[in-house]
Every structure is written in structure tokens, then in C-alpha cells.
């Protein structure tokens, strides 16, 4: 099979009735990301089955054998299969042998989230489907030891808003069954306890409900809050935080949807200060934050226009806005890769493909835990 050119090609690798067989040779031939897993060593205590490719194949076969997975609709089966297939995709980049001889892969879940998003974006995957899979990959180890985590409730609620916790439990089950591990029985018990916990919290197979957008926003900023408390909405103005790759269409959206509002735009500030994109950006960021504070002190609604592709960058904007009592709305704008490239090539100063690739590699799509309201905007055909 040729390398997938769209999400349907990737989903087409999923085992199907009546045989439910996994054609691993077909999967391997189709995906260079899978071939890259071959020969990547693992910790023999938790992975005595062989390299990462062997484990991934076994996990996919384990998933295909689960009655709960087989009972799902075809699109949900395919989505879960893609998540299991790619759950360890970042291990070649994260695996190292420590000084004491242990083999570790610290950070492979978060790095996998980024890699999966980039891959599925290039395959034209619908945003909701893509972000569901990426969230599962990011959190795929959570059910193993979840009950030991002090932030379990916040994680479980976040997963319910970006994917589904019963999907996460199925992925974790396939993951642990697809390996030779000394602690398999204990981990399966933990996954079962995670299911029970999510069911008790009303977020196993559905998004966790909150009394209001304001209650949800502040729960994720202060997880010690009662999630069922209907927090008084004392917001005084609205800050619209833009997020999107260069060329996605942020300026066009602002002109159409927020006409007349002040805009704190990093591109405009760079031009004003004579700072090139390759220069030190700290003066630009400092100027942007000071201008934002001026609007916030005056209780003026405004738009914060920047790429804001990482959660940490967005949090600097949303945190400042929240501190001044603003309602926070994030607008995530994106375009297909071909449309994006064509737009950037038409600019007076075209953005090099290497720059865009680096940004795509760090791209964390906004989720509902970050704002009172999240708006997704697709531009282009």
C-alpha cells in the first residue's frame, strides 16, 4: 500500500469483520512512522516482548480482540485503532539509555500528541477526529497509575472534553495486553478503577458537565474548586485570543468578526519596532503585554492576535486577561496544508517552509479547558 494521502487511507488499515485480522505488512508498508519504531529498544521490565514495533503490533492485535471495541460503530473502531497504532510514535525521538542502564522514553506521550496532530493535519483529518486521537495519545498512560495522581480529577475532566475516557481506557487496555509485563494484572485492575472513577464523576463516555462556561473556565485554573459550583460571572470585558499557524486566516477573521475592536497584533508591533521574525522576540512580547494591560485597565474588549500555537503561549495571554476579570474567548483558525502554503508563498515576504514545519511540530491545538468559549474556524476549500 502507498503512504496514506488522507485520513480515510489510514483508517482503512483498521481490522474489520468478519475476520478482524490485522494485516501488519500492509500497515508497515504504508507508514514510515511505524517502520521507524523497528529496532527501538524498550525497558525489559515493562516491555519484554521486543522493540517498539513489536509492541505496537501486539497492542493493535489486542485491541482487535476486545469485544467492547468490536461492538463500537465502524468510525469509532477506526479512530481507536489509529490511536493505538500511533500511541508510541514518539519513542524513537525520546528513548535513551540512562547511566544506570535503564531504558527510558520520558516525554513520549506529549511529543506523540504533537507528532500525531501534524500527521493527521497533513492527511486532512477533521479537526474533532484529529484532536480526539491526539488527546488519547497524550494521555494514554494515565489509567495505568491514575489513582496515585493528585491531579486525577482535572485530567479525567480534560480528557472527557477533548476525547472520551472509555476510549482512553480501551487504549490503555490494548497497550498493556500488547506487551510482556510483570505487572499486567495490577495495571488492568488500575484501568478498571479508572473506569469506575470516571463513571462516578459522570465523565466516562461523555463530556463532564459544568453549570456554566465560567464555572468550567475557573475550575481548570483552580482545580480545588467545586466543579458543580455555579461561579458568579463577574467578567467586565472580552478578550479574543487568536491561535493559528501563519497564513491560516486570522487577520481575515478579525476583520470580518471583530470590526472596530482594538487589536494587539505581534506582526504590527514587530514592524513598528523594526524587529525581524528571526530576532530576539522578547521586546515584542513585552510591548504586546503592556498594550494588553492598557486595554484591560480601561476595561476595553480587544483582540490578541498572534500565532499562539502552544498552550504555554496562550496561557500568558489568557492568564493576564483572567487576572483583570475578562471573559476569555479563543478563536482557533486553520487551513489545509496546501492552502496554507499557497497563501504564504503569495506574501511579499514568503514564510519559508522550514519555519512553518517547526511551528507545526510545536502545535498544541486549543481545547475547551483554556477559555470560556472556544471557536474553531476552518478556511480554504
11-55 per-position pLDDT tens digit: 999 999 999 999 999 999 999 999 999 999 998 888 889 899 999
Total Cβ atoms within 10 A of residue 10: 24
Same domain, 163 and 72: yes
Total Cβ atoms within 10 A of residue 91: 23
Beta strand residue intervals within the chain, DSSP E: 96-97, 103-104, 237-243, 263-265, 302-305, 326-334, 373-378
Total count of domains within the chain: 2
Give residue-wise pLDDT tens across range 231-259: 899 999 999 999 999 999 999 999 999 99
Nearest Cα residue to 245 out of 311, 339, 308, 338: 308
- Angle formed at CA 119 by CA 358 and CA 25, multiple of 5 degrees: 135
Same domain, 314 and 193: no
> Is residue 365 included in any domain, yes or no?
yes
> Is residue 207 included in any domain, yes or no?
no
Give residue-wise pLDDT tens across range 172-197: 999 999 999 889 999 999 999 999 99
Give residue-wise pLDDT tens across range 93-137: 999 999 998 999 999 999 999 999 999 999 999 999 999 999 999
Per-residue pLDDT, 92 = 97
Which CATH number does the domain housing residue 23 bear? 1.10.3210
Same domain, 20 and 131: yes
Give residue 299's region: left, alpha or beta (phi > 0; psi -120 to 50): left
CA distance 227 to 211: 8
> Is residue 270 included in any domain, yes or no?
yes
Containing domain of residue 180, as a range?
Answer: 7-200
Residue 381 has pLDDT above 90, yes or no: no
Same domain, 298 and 346: yes
Same domain, 189 and 122: yes
Same domain, 35 and 150: yes
The rounded mean pLDDT for the chain is: 95
Per-residue pLDDT, 1 = 53
Same domain, 250 and 337: yes
Same domain, 279 and 325: yes
Task: State the pTM of this model.
Answer: 0.95
> Is residue 143 included in any domain, yes or no?
yes
CA distance 177 to 61: 9
Question: Which one of 146, 178, 200 terminates a domain?
Answer: 200
Query: For the chain, what percent of residues have pLDDT higher than 90?
Result: 86
Per-residue pLDDT, 278 = 73
Which CATH number does the domain housing residue 264 bear? 3.40.50.300
Which of 60-69, 109-118, 170-179, 353-362 shows the lowest per-residue confidence on average (mean pLDDT)?
353-362
> Is residue 189 included in any domain, yes or no?
yes
Question: Which one of 185, 200, 215 terminates a domain?
Answer: 200
Same domain, 177 and 262: no
> Is residue 273 included in any domain, yes or no?
yes
Same domain, 268 and 150: no
Per-residue pLDDT, 380 = 83
Name the pLDDT band for 60 (thresholds 50, 70, 90).
very high
Per-residue pLDDT, 264 = 97
**Three cell numbers, residue 275:** 524587529
CB-based contact 52:7 (threshold 8 Å): no
Question: Which one of 179, 200, 221 terminates a domain?
Answer: 200
> Is residue 225 included in any domain, yes or no?
no
Q: Which long-range contacts (CB under 8 A, 24 or more apart) does 62-66 make?
A: 62/173, 62/174, 62/177, 62/178, 63/170, 63/171, 63/174, 63/178, 64/15, 64/20, 64/21, 64/22, 65/20, 66/170, 66/173, 66/174
Cα diameter, the chain: 66
Asked whether the bond before 18 is cis by omega within 30 degrees of 0, the reply is yes
CB-based contact 376:226 (threshold 8 Å): no
> Is residue 206 included in any domain, yes or no?
no
Same domain, 190 and 253: no
CA distance 304 to 232: 25
Same domain, 244 and 365: yes
Give backbone dihedrals phi and psi of 266, rounded to 5 degrees, phi first: -70, -35
Amino acid at each position: 500500500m502507498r503512504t496514506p494521502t488522507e485520513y480515510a487511507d489510514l483508517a482503512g488499515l483498521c481490522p474489520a469483520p468478519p475476520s478482524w485480522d490485522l494485516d501488519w505488512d500492509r500497515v508497515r508498508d504504508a507508514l514510515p512512522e511505524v517502520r521507524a519504531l523497528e529496532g527501538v529498544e524498550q525497558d525489559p521490565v515493562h516491555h519484554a516482548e521486543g522493540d517498539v514495533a513489536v509492541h505496537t503490533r501486539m497492542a493493535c492485535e489486542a485491541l482487535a480482540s476486545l469485544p467492547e471495541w468490536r461492538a463500537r460503530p465502524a468510525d469509532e473502531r477506526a479512530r481507536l485503532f489509529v490511536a493505538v497504532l500511533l500511541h508510541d510514535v514518539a519513542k524513537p525521538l525520546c528513548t535513551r539509555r540512562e547511566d544506570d542502564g535503564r531504558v527510558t522514553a520520558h516525554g513520549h506521550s506529549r511529543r506523540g500528541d504533537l507528532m500525531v496532530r501534524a500527521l493527521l493535519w497533513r492527511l486532512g483529518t477533521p479537526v474533532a477526529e484529529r484532536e480526539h486521537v491526539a488527546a488519547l495519545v497524550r494521555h494514554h498512560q494515565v489509567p495505568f497509575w491514575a489513582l496515585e495522581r493528585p491531579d486525577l480529577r482535572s485530567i479525567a475532566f480534560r480528557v472527557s472534553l477533548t476525547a472520551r475516557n472509555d476510549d482512553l481506557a480501551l487504549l490503555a487496555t490494548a497497550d498493556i495486553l500488547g506487551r510482556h509485563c510483570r505487572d499486567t494484572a495490577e495495571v488492568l485492575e488500575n484501568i478498571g478503577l479508572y473506569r469506575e472513577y470516571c463513571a462516578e464523576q459522570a465523565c466516562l463516555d461523555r463530556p463532564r458537565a459544568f453549570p456554566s462556561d465560567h464555572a468550567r473556565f475557573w475550575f481548570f485554573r483552580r482545580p480545588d474548586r467545586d466543579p458543580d459550583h455555579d461561579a458568579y460571572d463577574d467578567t467586565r470585558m472580552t478578550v479574543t485570543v487568536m491561535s493559528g499557524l501563519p497564513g491560516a486566516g486570522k487577520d481575515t477573521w478579525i476583520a470580518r468578526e471583530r470590526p472596530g475592536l482594538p487589536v494587539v497584533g505581534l506582526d504590527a508591533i514587530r514592524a513598528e519596532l523594526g524587529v525581524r521574525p528571526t530576532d530576539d522576540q522578547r521586546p515584542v512580547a513585552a510591548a504586546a503585554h503592556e498594550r494588553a494591560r492598557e486595554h484591560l485597565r480601561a476595561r476595553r474588549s480587544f483582540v490578541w492576535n498572534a500565532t499562539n500555537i502552544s498552550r504555554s503561549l496562550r496561557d500568558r495571554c489568557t492568564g493576564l486577561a483572567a487576572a483583570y476579570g475578562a471573559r476569555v474567548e479563543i478563536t482557533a483558525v486553520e487551513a489545509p496544508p496546501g492552502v496554507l502554503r499557497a497563501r504564504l508563498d503569495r506574501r511579499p515576504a514568503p514564510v519559508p517552509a522550514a519555519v512553518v514545519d517547526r511551528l507545526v511540530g510545536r502545535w498544541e491545538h486549543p481545547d475547551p479547558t483554556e477559555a470560556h468559549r472556544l471557536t474553531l474556524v476552518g478556511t480554504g476549500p
